[in-house]
Amino acid sequence: MSARLIATFLLGGIAAVDATPVAQTLLSQPLFTATILGALWGNLTLALEVGIVLQIMAASTLPVGARTPEDYAVGGVVGAGVALALGSQQPFEVSRNAGAMLGALAGMIGAVLGVPLIKWQRRRNEGLSRWCEDALARGDEGALAAAQWAGVALAFATGVCLTAVLVGGALRGLTWLAAHESLRLARAWTLAQPLWIGLGLAQLLNSFVQRRLTRAALFGISLLAGWLVLMMGSP
């Protein structure tokens, strides 16, 4: 197994830890992890293409209320990891787009599959919590620290394992597809990429605008101004 794959799995663990148990500093966001993976695998363009799609989907997925949101921390690493690993085996531009298509899909599937694992961790933490309270009652104050770090270790191990299983499984199952059906997959990417970006941006816009006319006007003005500047060149 290559060192880059191992580093990808470890990044899955780090992302899982940053997402909820420790600090929540956005190191776990797909754009961040994709940039790191792009530098690691030496293909920043491909990593960013997948990272942008997954980041837009992640930004429109909100951890509020009782709903457990999709796990884009691990999903982001899986998506960029699969795309880069598949892309590294293919010499042509078309195969690169095929890798992006499969990577983005793998990332979203990884994000969905991460939800039951997050719920499982939370149930494991219930046991940890009860153990800690019993230990505290017995006079062991160190149990608090032990429980905290056990929670972090559990999240890290779960992130590493889920990333390894999904990236490994995708490489085993999709390498042939990416190599032999790259044209069809590239066509699918040409269509899916703008649709995904549009879908996610509309969700974001809806949450920002909240039916306020001034914010909708701001969106329109910045779109028009940005488009004009980019088309005509800056004054």
Partner 1 sequence: MTEGRLSRRDRWRMAMRAALLQATWNYERQQGLGWAWALKPALDRFYPDAERRRSRLTEHTAYFNTQPTLASLALGAVAGLEERRAAGEPIDSAAVARVKSALGSSLAALGDRLFWLTLRPVAACVGLVFAISGRWFGALAMWACYNWIHLGLRFAGVEWGYREGPDVLGTPLRARLEELVRGLSALGAALVGLIVATVLVPGGEPRPMVFQAALAGGLVLGMLTAQRARPSPTEWALGIGMLCIVAGWMR
51-90 positions binding partner 1, by CB under 8 A? 51-52, 55-64, 67, 70
Count of residues interacting with partner 1 (CB under 8 A) = 106
Q: Which is nearer to partner 1, 1 or 103 (CB)?
A: 103
Residue closer to partner 1, measured from CB, 92 or 227: 227
Which one among 137, 172, 176, 235 touches partner 1, defined by CB under 8 A? 137
- Between the two ends of the chain, the Cα-to-Cα distance in Å is 52
Per CB under 8 A, the segment of 2-10, 83-91, 138-146, 158-166 that binds partner 1 is 138-146
Query: Are the beta carbons of 84 and 56 closer than 8 angstroms?
Result: no
Nearer to partner 1 by Cβ, of 5 and 18: the residue is 18
148 binds partner 1 (CB under 8 A): yes
Q: Which residue in the set 116, 169, 179, 223 belongs to the binding site for partner 1 (CB under 8 A)?
A: 223
Nearest approach, Cβ of 214 to partner 1 (angstroms)? 7
Task: Please identify, using beta-carbon distances, which residue of 1 and 211 lies nearer to partner 1.
Answer: 211
Residue 149, both tokens = 């770090």
CA 73 to chain centre: 4
**Contact string (CB under 8 A) for partner 1, positions 101-120, x = contact:** x--xx--xx-xx--------
From the list 8-16, 77-85, 149-157, 162-170, the region that binds partner 1 by CB under 8 A is 149-157
- Cβ 40 to partner 1, closest distance in Å? 13
8-27 positions binding partner 1, by CB under 8 A: 20-27
- Among residue numbers 154 through 213, which ones bind partner 1 (CB under 8 A)? 155, 184-210, 212
39 forms part of the interface with partner 1 (CB under 8 A): yes
Instruction: Dump the DSSP string for the chain.
Output: --HHHHHHHHHHHHHHHHHTTS---STTSHHHHHHHHHHHHT-HHHHHHHHHHHHHHHHT----TTPPPP-HHHHHHHHHHHHHHHHHT--SHHHHHHHHHHHHHHHHHHHHHHHHHHHHHHHHHHHHHHHHHHHHHTT-THHHHHHHHHHHHHHHHHHHHHHHHHHHHHHHHHHHHHHHSHHHHHHHHHHHHHHHHHHHHHHHHHHHHTT-HHHHHHHHHHHHHHHHHHHH---
